A and B are shown apart, each in its own frame.
Chain A
Amino acid sequence: MPNRKLIGKGAEGELFLTEHDKQKCVEKIRVSKAYRHPELDKRLRKRRTVREAKVIRAARAAMINCPTLLVENVEKSTLIIEYIEGELLARVLVKENPISAKSIDLCGQAGIILGKLHQNKITHGDFTTSNLMVDTKNKVRVIDFGLSEQTDGVEQKAVDVMLFERSLSDVDDNSILFKEFLKQYLSVDKKADEIIARTKLILSRGRYRSKGQ
């Protein structure tokens, strides 16, 4: 067993830095949750691992900027994935404040990624700036397909757009970043108007949403 180092602890799982075939990689383990019914716990962890593996393979096949899947172990709900050197988009955007040409470009790249994903009938499910990595060549790559689905559903796609907009809200003055994101997103997926319309509908569905929000 190579050396393992805990590099991240999310809500759902733990990330370890490890080695596979002498290549630096990330081991993602979906940990058991004490609060969940054991049957539900097993079900969710297993299904999400299988689904995530399937989606990563599909995304790679569609030439989308995301890390490669190296090993899939459903019984241990573990995936071993290529390691990406870089920084989270969320952190980069906080550093690039006020908004710079760089941050606009990065959000545009995120738009292209999401457009391609949706074109290939993949929805991410948690498409926020914390799930986008900026690598050492300033290329944006999408990570964590934990909540992804393979679907052409307008609703799921609209949720992706909405989640991205919301994750920008701390850093995006006058939604400059979001506008660039949308421009690039629409340039890939020409039929996305329906999705944008649905985003508005979902937002209006929030309980007791005040007018204009």
Chain B
Amino acid sequence: MKKIRLLAFECTAHTFGASVIEKSGTGKPNNINTKILSNDYDRYPALKEGFIPRKLADHHSKVFKKVTNLALNNAKIRMEEIDLLAYSYGPGIGHCLHVGYVGAKSLALKTNKPLIPVNHTVAHCEVGRYLFGFKDPLIIYVSGGNTQIAAITKEKNGNFYRVYGETLDVGIGNFFDVLGRKLDGIQPPNAIGVIKQASTYKENNLLDLPYTVKGMDLAFSGLLTACIKEVEKKGDKAQVCFSAQEIALSMLIEACERALCHTQKKEILLVGGVAQNPRLQEMVNLMAKEHRCKVGIVPPLLAGDNAAMIGITAMQIYCSNSIEPSDLPNDNVRLDSTQIRW
């Protein structure tokens, strides 16, 4: 059986990534027959000004060739040996998506290879299922812009991810980011700064701040405003960060626990950039233990934005003959809008 090699690009926000995936043998792609040969990236640095879309796009087009060559070299594969190309078509920042699209499409036209568009949010979830071999997990997808609790459900017209609960305002990563921006002396990336600041708090006194869970949905804006007010009152910075983290994560786990009781799933997957938060990992494990659930936490290199997850998902799409008709970028496609045919 011939090996299938795939070159995937990730280019939706601050990360430009390229990755080579290789599948050997027959059957559906899984963590035995499909290998990640390389997973390289260049990340636009977090600066005080935040992310300016134009600058992100410039950065990505500058590093496109370098990162692509790096991924090929690390995989010890020549461009001629690549059979398929893939890129993430959304959701993301429009400017970045277009750089990814133009790069991947040009390469596809030049080498006359099929180009597989991949939904970025689906890829975050799929890489977790691939790593842990979970068939039917409840997924906690937490990143800067996204906070969703989802699982695959069978609908009239096929299988789709269904979002059981999500944030009604900002993503949880974004929440920490905005809070960090309001605090003096925190170096970007602000969200990491807040978490570090929280860990310096040696006492155990929790501030009484708003806690908003609506069914399985969450809202962080009230908590954010209250935290900012505490900061302006010159409260103990470490204590504010500690309380913000405890309350925001407890809200998330409570919503997740509700979804778990509702869906009766037996596996939990923690995916997305915020999955690296150690306190969140601890909380998920404690909650899962009570419900006798297995937990899969995606490791940092595959949790944050990366090209390997795009490649793994593209391989699933290719092997199930479900390449979407249009490969154009779409900046507001949702997790629940892509049919899962594998």
Contact = CB atoms under 8 A, between A and B. Distances in A.
Contact of B334 (A43, A126, A213): A213
B332 A210 contact: yes
A149 to B, nearest CB: 10
12 contacts: A9-B261, A11-B254, A34-B286, A35-B282, A36-B250, A37-B204, A39-B205, A125-B214, A125-B215, A159-B217, A206-B166, A207-B147
Contacts of A40: 206, 211, 246-247, 250
B215 A210 contact: no
Contacts of B290: 33-34
A213 B336 CA distance: 11
- Identify which of A9, A147, A202, A210 gathers the most chain B CB atoms within 10 Å of its CB: A210
B333 A202 contact: no
A205 interface: yes
Tell me the dominant secondary structure on chain A's binding face: loop
B260 interface: yes
Contact of A207 (B145, B206, B253): B145
Given A11-B261, A33-B287, A35-B253, A210 B333 contact: yes
B215 A163 contact: yes
A37 B257 contact: no
Interface of A: 9-12, 33-37, 39-40, 43-44, 125-126, 128, 130, 147, 159, 163, 202, 205-210, 213
Contact of B332 (A33, A205, A208): A208
A147 B215 contact: yes
Nearest to B282: A35
Nearest to B153: A170
Given A10-B261, A147-B213, A35 B250 contact: yes
B332 A206 contact: no
Interface stretch (B17-25, B167-175, B227-235): B167-175
Contacts of B91: 208
A163 B213 CA distance: 13
A11 B205 CA distance: 26
Interface in B258-302: 258, 260-262, 282-284, 286-287, 289-290
B254 A37 contact: no
A11 B258 contact: yes
Contacts of B168: 202, 205-206
B146 interface: yes
Interface string B138-155: 000000011110000000
Given A11-B254, A34-B286, A126-B215, A210 B261 contact: no
A11 B257 contact: yes
Ordered nearest first, which 6 A-B pairs have the shortest CB separation?
A35-B283, A35-B286, A11-B258, A11-B257, A39-B206, A11-B261
A147 B290 CA distance: 22
Contacts of A147: 213-215
Contacts of B213: 147
B244 to A, nearest CB: 12
Contacts of A39: 204-206
A159 B166 contact: no
A209 B333 CA distance: 7
